[in-house]
Chain A
Amino acid sequence: MTGKLRSELARGGLGLALLAASARLLGGEPSPAAEPEAAAWRASAGATRLGARDEPLPSKLPEVPVVDYRLEVRLEGALLRGSGSVVLRNVSSAPLDELWLHLYLNAFEGPETVYGRVPPLGFRGAKADETGSIELESLRVEAWDAELAADPPHTPGEPLDRTDLRFPLPRSLPPGESLRLDMRFTSRLPPVTMRTGQVGDFVFAGQWFPKLAKLEPDGRFAHFPFERYSEFYADFGRYDVSIDVPEHLVVGATGARVESRSEGGRRIDRYVQEGVHDFAFTAWPHYVEQRRDHRGVSLRSLHPPGHEANGARALEVAAFGLDHYGERHGAYPYDTLTIVHPPEGAEEAGGMEYPTLITTGGPFWASRSPARAFDGLVLHELAHQWFYGLVASDEHAWPFLDEGLTTFVTGQALEALHPGAPVLRGTGLGVGAWDRASGKRARHRHAVASPAGSFATGADYASSVYSRASTLLRSIDGAYGGAATRAVERYARRHRYRHPTPSDLLEAVREEGGDEASEQLRLGLHERGHLDYEVVAVASRPIDDAHEVEVLLRRAGTLSLPVEVELRLADGQRLRETWDGREPFLRLRRRTSAPLAGAVVDPDRRLPVDDDRTNDARSLAPSGFGARSFVTGLVASRWLSELCAP
């Protein structure tokens, strides 16, 4: 999910305009690809096949899903009246004596819920005075003739929170056996906030039904209350949902529509999808629909009137993304993809991922803006179909596994879609530079691999989990020849329809880049690993016919990535060496044919994790004044003066 991506790209555009130093960034870059698809195909045609893509892809789903939901829901304003059943198969190795159900919408019951107590501080969802809830009116095991009741009737240890409930079972459910739960519930959607809700005649229903917590292999449930910065975690299953709405509403939902019938001024659309772990839907009378078929996937764009350009662009970018990600992380296995652009006033429903359904956002001109924010948003949410959707890591325990990997691969997709200008049209501003700057904001305050609830602020969460994670992966790529990219591909293929953990990612990195690469990434993710290379001093003196040159390099921080060092001689020669970076400093003495002019560490900027770029170079004859900045300042001040003192 990302509200962050959008606002950051927008803010960045402004900052750039401010300092016209970016003017040169503005020049000499290739023009944006007129036909992004064509450009992408050229790019992929030229790419060599990487070993990681030979990783076998689990082609089939488990024969019997872990969970099988059959729900009917009737929409009445902000109310959802639901009934139906869920069959749970005990795929764990232990008998089950209890169940855990998430009633996420109860997060909006009041200001004292676990969610309500935490302010956004730099993350989505501005207010906490919304009202929303979900009442579970009945939960029954017909086979045992038993009505289940929550004990305690609230989240354990949180008397005012009812988002994480335990239901003791009257008897044990042995491994391999299944249990059908029949349920009746009423959900009251809040005014649109935190991805879900209702405003006017618009509805976006996310986390709207009683949802079983994820059953882990040891028989425990991975359960947690709804938290401000946390997303979700659930078992793969089959969802068969009939949505009953007033006839004039246009509906979009997870999965494929298999049936639609009208009766008494209402319409009932039935959507079915296997191999997913959530179900969301939207309904609004004013949606405009655009469709496109792309290699067997039926793409559907739902957007407000006036947003035709956004809707069309979303389809175009999604088609590109399906190919781009599909080639790398395994083909998209579903038949449908719905892209929803929420209307004005419902922006909080935007920038979110659900299985086979993603939401975008932005003003009507978003897709025509020189910033690539809209393309980036579509590609980000689409990437989640892999990192979250198909590779269903625990978003509560390891949010970086979905958001960080998504940020990493989205950056690469943007670079492929807009070669040379992936952030701002006509500029060389880079995604990596952007991630780096965003990732630095958290100043190593938190380990990237931390649970969502452990971040002090939303800004820290976003900076660490999205940007810092991506920066670390880019740096592993830079230091170990693309090992992170290949590892993420292998990880995505190997763990399709599974629930991997950070150690699975580290294992893939070890296979692709070796033990050291994996260890460095582990330090970066788990131990707040950081790094700053610096050229401390340079010296050069003539000896006989030659010159003795000396360069003192220093490494600060806990990471030690191999790095290149370039000695620049006065006659234009450049000598390059690699430093393994293991020791805290290196005194490099060489005999050269010409005097030394200067030295630079990481000359190709392969390690964006380097904390301070200004100290990467040292010259024997530094220039003390920035003439270009001076002229830029002069021009900017002149025009400011023109404005204030005409």
Chain B
Amino acid sequence: MSFAAGHAQEPSALRRLSWAWPSVLAWWFVRGLAALVPALVLGRAAGRALGHHEQGELALLAGGGELLLEALGVMRIELEALGLAGAGALLLASPVLAAAAGAVVLQARAPGVGLGSALGAALARAGSLLLLWGAALSAQALLLLLGVTAFGGASKALVSDTPRGGLVFLALAVLAVLPAWVLGVVHQLARVEVALGAGVFEAAQRSMDRLGRSRARIFAWALASSGATFAFAIAGAAALELVWRSSWQSALGALLAELCALGAVLARSLFIALTLGLRDAEGSSEAGAELAPPDGAEASDLSTPLHRDGGLE
């Protein structure tokens, strides 16, 4: 009956992550593939504008950045095309991206699941994963809009143009994005359920339940995961600085930037592995199960937590 006892037999999150590495790599790869489209547009535009300059693209930065400022003006159309290409590529890639995330869940759930079968199973759930993604993203956008609107009103009333006001501003800004962030956490939890076979609605409900039960742990993990992602983003941007130096530094910068991107996927996968552990510990009857057929998983998962809740009284 002890919660801890069941938990002790669960594989560690790192171990789960080690099972899932092919899917982690796939996730990273698909994201790169989508990003390739706008990147190619930009590379071609830069080549056309600067190809005749001896320093090549570094000419952008010579003379105090004259060409960079000029390019930003001249390339306005290309930048628009870039935005469109980026949005299009992202849209096209999103089913595969969602499936890749799902495959991480499936591989982290049990050892020895091949990438092919995990990805195949996840692709079978791609519709639901995509629906979840779309719903979460729209709801997040709405929450963000509401948050920012409320923030605008509150900051007008509460923020003064002083250092103290600056702190209030920051606090309000955090409050403004907090609901959207929490929803993001729920999205990650629900993604696990959907990958394991639940419908979108049940998945949402179950993840809310799970969040209710293990609030502290989940938020701590999510915070760490978001923090790590943020740190990787900063490091990735910093690596760009190298890209704009000499050729070998440029290659090193590109490599580091890609490693940072991989780091971000790892951080999110680790979060998935951690919540999987929590989930499996909750559903003791199911612990250690191999990749279960979606429908069966759905039925047993649905009943177990509710049952346990009663027992814990």
Contacts and interface: CB of A to CB of B under 8 A. Distances in A.
Contacts of A26: 241, 244
B80 to A, nearest CB: 13
Contacts of A61: none
Given A619-B54, A640-B90, 19 more contacts: A12-B69, A22-B68, A23-B243, A25-B68, A306-B160, A433-B65, A437-B73, A598-B54, A613-B67, A614-B70, A626-B45, A627-B43, A628-B250, A632-B42, A633-B82, A638-B236, A640-B86, A645-B94, A645-B97
Contacts of B63: 430, 432-433, 604-605, 608, 613
A366 to B, nearest CB: 10
B208 interface: no
In order of increasing CB-CB distance, the 9 nearest A-B pairs are A430-B64, A24-B244, A306-B162, A626-B46, A630-B43, A629-B46, A637-B35, A605-B63, A633-B39
Contacts of B146: none
Contacts, number: 251
Nearest to B90: A641
Contacts of B133: 645
A475 to B, nearest CB: 12
B156 to A, nearest CB: 11
A364 interface: yes
Nearest to B70: A613
Contacts of B41: 633
Contacts of B257: 631, 634-635
Interface of A is mostly: mixed
A629 B45 contact: yes
Interface of A: 12, 15-16, 19-28, 304-307, 343-344, 363-365, 423, 427-434, 436-437, 440, 535, 568, 597-598, 600, 604-605, 608, 612-614, 616-619, 622-642, 644-646
A634 B260 CA distance: 13
Nearest to B255: A631
Contacts of A628: 46, 56-58, 243-244, 250
B163 interface: yes
A427 B65 CA distance: 9
B161 interface: yes
Among B40, B46, B86, B94, residue most surrounded by chain A Cβ atoms (within 10 Å): B46
Contact of A22 (B39, B50, B61, B245): B61
Interface in B205-242: 229, 233, 236-237, 239-241
Interface residues of B, number: 79
Contacts of B31: 638, 641-642, 645
A568 B54 contact: yes
Given A27-B245, A624-B48, A629-B46, A433 B69 contact: yes
A571 to B, nearest CB: 14
A625 B68 contact: no
B125 to A, nearest CB: 16
A86 to B, nearest CB: 39
Contacts of A646: 184, 187-188, 268
B236 A635 contact: yes
B166 interface: yes
Given A619-B53, A625-B44, A641-B31, A27 B244 contact: yes
A623 B86 CA distance: 24
B295 interface: no
A69 B249 CA distance: 67
Contacts of B53: 600, 616-617, 619
A393 B181 CA distance: 58
B137 A632 contact: no
